[in-house]
Amino acid sequence: MSSRPARRLALVALLALPGCGSGQVQLASPTTDAATRAVCRDFVDALPDTVDDERRRPVDPGDALGAAWGDPAIVVICGGPTPAGFDGFSACQVADGVGWWVPEEQIVDQSVDAVLTTVGFEPNVQVRLPAAYRPEGAAAVMIDLAPAIKGRLRLVKPCV
């Protein structure tokens, strides 16, 4: 049985502090060209209403190149740069036909927030996954996002 409900209950108590809660999630969109922005808008529009059984939340600004689910928020951003530390030879994980790269230290330490980045798709998609959802949530998030990634983004080089 998962300990996630107990962790979520503890998080609810922490999130009752002023300024926290389930309102809009502030997102910063990367600077992109018009073509990338259009692809990312289409991608964001295709994202599911739930990820890892968490409901989608409103974002600010409303035209951000990303989306959020749950509290604490699982955040997806489209169009960002290739992450520091990734090279063409970095190991990746595949879930439902989509390759993902996670920094090694975040794989080893499941108690920290993780940043998952698509491998081989253009533009890049980055997911910020709070530690509260780990380790079970990582696979669920990758699988839940896969249809939008495969359906809206261009595969340029598969994860190997």
Instruction: Output the pLDDT for position 22.
Output: 59
Whether the predicted pLDDT of 43 surpasses 70: yes
159 pLDDT band, cuts 50/70/90, is: confident
The pTM assigned to this predicted structure is 0.83
Q: Is 80 helix (H, G, I), strand (E, B) or coil?
A: strand
153 pLDDT band, cuts 50/70/90, is: very high
Characterize 87-116 residue by residue with b for buried, 16 or more Cβ atoms within 10 angstroms of its Cβ, and e for exposed: eeeeebbebeebbbbbbeebeeeeeeebbb
For the chain, give me the number of helices (H) and strands (E)?
4, 12
Q: Where are the domains of the chain?
A: 4-155
Whether the predicted pLDDT of 142 surpasses 50: yes
1-11 pLDDT, tens digit each: 444 333 332 22
